[in-house]
Amino acid sequence: MSRSFDHFSRPLVLALALLCVAPAFAGTLQVKASQRDGKPLIGAVVTLDAESPAMPPAPPIKAIMDQVNLQFAPDVLVLPVKSSVQFPNSDAVRHQVYSFSSARQFQLPLYRGKPYPPTVFDQPGVVTLGCNIHDNMLAYIVVTAAPFFGRTDAAGSWAAPAVPAGRYRVRVWHPLENEPAPVERVIQVGTDDGQVAIRFTRGLKPAPITGQPHSWEY
């Protein structure tokens, strides 16, 4: 199932409060995300796109998503565009990794141990990963062209220090939010620190993967 950022145009069903400051010099932007009951929203993906003045994406990186105890490890990666990921298999059984997401479609036929060559992710979006043998295996790779990005901590907070003054679009997405559209708002970073407070109004649950890979090689 694709959970691409292409769905940004859909109506949001999330309630959010936004506090921002007057524009001027570089400052720190802090995002505070919470669940509908007010508890911290841990592990939410936050991206900060520069609209004016424009900024290039963060440099690409090399990452690893392993398979351990019939689970992807980690289950969420956030990467700049053009980054690459290796998918080693540390389990004693074979896995077949695949994605039907519009941001990146691929499959790695059944294997264990040594991984295939790295997979490059060159389009922004959310890539949903599964294994054709183990339906419980689910992971996400969020690919972004934003210069600033990260995930919320145990307190539901994420901060980007030394953000140049300007106009930015903040997007917040969580892997257990069963709506494809993330929260997004335009803010202005200025003389003092800016704060964005976001509360999700729906309960959290994973969306199922649909479809199967074309190859069922054993």
More confident residue, 36 or 93: 93
Residues in the chain: 218
Q: What tokens appear for 105 in the block?
A: 């479609």
Chain mean pLDDT for the chain: 81
Which residue range forms the structural domain that includes residue 26? Answer: 10-56+146-199
Q: What share of the chain in percent tops pLDDT 90? A: 52
Q: Which residue type does 8 have? A: F
Least confident of 26-30, 85-89, 153-157: 26-30
Distance of CA 176 to the CA centre of its chain: 11
Q: Is residue 2 part of a domain?
A: no
CA dihedral 202, 30, 121, 112 (to 10 degrees): -70
Same domain, 124 and 151: no
In angstroms, the CA 40 to CA 120 distance is 33
Q: Is residue 50 part of a domain?
A: yes
Confidence at residue 178, expressed as pLDDT on a 0 to 100 scale:
57
Residue 193 · residue 85 · CB < 8 Å = no
Domain count, the chain: 2
pLDDT at 69 over 90: yes
pLDDT in tens, 17-58: 333 333 344 678 889 998 888 899 999 999 999 998 899 999
User: Confidence band (pLDDT; 50, 70, 90) for 11?
Assistant: very low
Same domain, 85 and 46: no
pLDDT at 117 over 80: yes
In angstroms, the CA 22 to CA 188 distance is 7
Same domain, 76 and 134: yes
Phi, psi of 167 (to 5 degrees): -100, 130
Same domain, 132 and 79: yes
Q: Is residue 218 part of a domain?
A: no
Q: Is residue 205 part of a domain?
A: no
In angstroms, the CA 128 to CA 211 distance is 12
Using only C-alpha atoms, the chain has a radius of gyration, in whole angstroms, of 18
Q: What share of the chain in percent tops pLDDT 70? A: 78
Same domain, 75 and 132: yes
Looking at residue 22, which CATH number applies to its domain?
2.60.40.10
Longest Cα–Cα distance in the chain: 60
More confident residue, 112 or 183: 112
Same domain, 79 and 183: no
Confidence at residue 118, expressed as pLDDT on a 0 to 100 scale:
96
Q: Is residue 96 part of a domain?
A: yes
Looking at residue 127, which CATH number applies to its domain?
2.60.40.420
